[in-house]
């Protein structure tokens, strides 16, 4: 009897790689998002047909975090700063604005994956805790 191995989805890894490739080539990374997915926090006034395209250029976003579970950042929309949270299951594609090159994902890849609520607050609180260990510097010969 063989046990079936379950692998983590490839979407977050591929999204990070394509984002890096787009930025390395001085192109503008655009993220296509399914705004109807649970826990997706995007400016609803810009959603069309259940989807939104977001500019992820380094100069357009602040505190971009691309984890295996989500993409989060803050950006200005109509001059107002907004915190954005996108579960990886809501990411439909990432591509370069200038030439359309990138990757588009199969929405069904996450059909059987449970999506957790926004954990960015918990992650931020953990990062804000001061370290108990004092930093040290040693000179090696």
SS3 category, 107: helix
pLDDT of residue 107: 80
Which CATH code is given to the segment(s) 10-104? Answer: 2.30.30.220
pLDDT of residue 77: 93
pLDDT of residue 52: 97
Q: Which residue ranges in the chain fall short of pLDDT 70? A: 1-3, 112-141
Q: Is the dihedral of CA 18, 19, 20, 26 positive or negative?
A: positive
């Amino acid at each position: 009897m063989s046990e079936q191995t379950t692998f983590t989805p490839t979407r977050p890894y591929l999204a990070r790689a394509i984002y890096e490739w787009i930025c390395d080539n001085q192109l503008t990374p655009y993220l296509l998002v399914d705004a109807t997915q649970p826990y997706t926090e995007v400016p609803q006034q810009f959603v069309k047909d259940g989807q939104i395209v977001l500019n992820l250029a380094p100069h357009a976003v602040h505190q971009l975090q691309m984890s295996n579970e989500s993409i989060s950042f803050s950006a200005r929309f109509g001059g107002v700063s907004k915190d954005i949270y996108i579960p990886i299951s809501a990411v439909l594609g990432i591509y370069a604005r200038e030439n359309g090159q990138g990757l588009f994902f199969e929405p069904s890849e996450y059909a059987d994956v449970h999506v957790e609520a926004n954990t960015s607050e918990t992650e931020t609180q953990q990062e804000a805790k001061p370290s108990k260990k004092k930093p040290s510097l040693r000179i090696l010969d």
